[in-house]
């Protein structure tokens, strides 16, 4: 019987027919049992190494999955912070726009007030220029005598008011 067949039966493996190596047919039972123990020890060691690799594979796979989950969570948090930052910027811009609208309305009201004041001053200036022109015409008119010129100039000291009552202290 082949050593592999014996080892297979020992471990409960189901093996197909494995031909016996010619050099192994000369072993006696004692040598075969020693060889079986050696093969069992090697298989045990190989099994432990294989389990270690398998465990490492699963551990590495678990670590990769854990890293992937952490990265996803980190990305979610980053996206959330980005959304919050963007929302805050939008709110700030909205407040700034509202403030600028109010300032714009205030400035428009000030411009309208100044425009009306300007138009009033232009009208007043035109009226004063017209009066000045009339006064200059009267001053240049040779038909008016000196008294009338002084009266039209607003210099009332030189004019006699005929409607005034006589001075009570100086009655003649």
How does pLDDT run across 64-74, given as a tens digit for each residue?
888 999 999 99
How does pLDDT run across 119-129, given as a tens digit for each residue?
999 999 999 99
Residue 165 in domain: no
Residue 160 in domain: no
Residue 159 in domain: no
What average pLDDT does the segment 74-87 reach? 97
CA dist., res. 81 & res. 138, Å (int): 84
Residue 17's pLDDT band, with cuts at 50, 70 and 90, is very low
Instruction: Give the residue numbers spanning the domain of 117.
Output: 3-153
SS3 string, the chain, reads: CCHHHHHHHHHCCCCCCCCCCHHHHHCCHHHHHHHHHHHHHHHHHHHHHHHHHHHHHHHHHHHHHHHHHHHHHHHHHHHHHHHHHHHHHHHHHHHHHHHHHHHHHHHHHHHHHHHHHHHHHHHHHHHHHHHHHHHHHHHHCCCCCHHHHHHHHCCCCCCCCCCCCCCCCCCC
Residue 76 in domain: yes
pLDDT for res 54: 74
Residue 164 in domain: no
Q: Which residue has the higher pLDDT, 160 or 43?
A: 43
Per-residue pLDDT for 140 more than 70? Answer: yes
**What is the total count of domains within the chain?**
1
Residue 18's pLDDT band, with cuts at 50, 70 and 90, is very low
* Percent residues over pLDDT 90 in the chain: 41
Residue 89 in domain: yes
Residue 40's pLDDT band, with cuts at 50, 70 and 90, is confident
How does pLDDT run across 56-65, given as a tens digit for each residue?
777 677 788 8
Residue 23 in domain: yes
Nearest to 21 by CA among 9, 32, 10: 32
Residue 158 in domain: no
Residue 26's pLDDT band, with cuts at 50, 70 and 90, is low
Per-residue pLDDT for 30 more than 60? Answer: no
């Amino acid at each position: 019987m082949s050593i592999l067949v014996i080892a297979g039966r020992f471990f409960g493996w189901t093996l197909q027919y494995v031909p016996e190596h010619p050099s192994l047919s000369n072993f006696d039972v004692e040598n075969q049992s020693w060889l079986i123990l050696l093969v069992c020890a090697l298989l045990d060691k190989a099994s432990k190494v294989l389990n270690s690799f398998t465990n490492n594979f699963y551990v590495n796979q678990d670590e990769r999955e854990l890293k992937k989950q952490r990265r996803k969570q980190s990305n979610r948090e980053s996206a959330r912070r980005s959304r919050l930052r963007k929302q805050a910027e939008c709110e700030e811009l909205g407040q700034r726009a509202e403030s600028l609208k109010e300032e714009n309305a205030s400035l428009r009201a000030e411009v309208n007030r100044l425009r009306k004041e300007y138009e009033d001053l232009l009208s007043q200036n035109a009226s004063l220029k017209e009066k000045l022109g009339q006064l200059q015409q009267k001053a240049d008119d040779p038909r008016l005598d000196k008294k009338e010129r002084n009266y039209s100039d607003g210099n009332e000291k030189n004019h006699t008011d005929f409607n005034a009552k006589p001075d009570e202290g100086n009655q003649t």
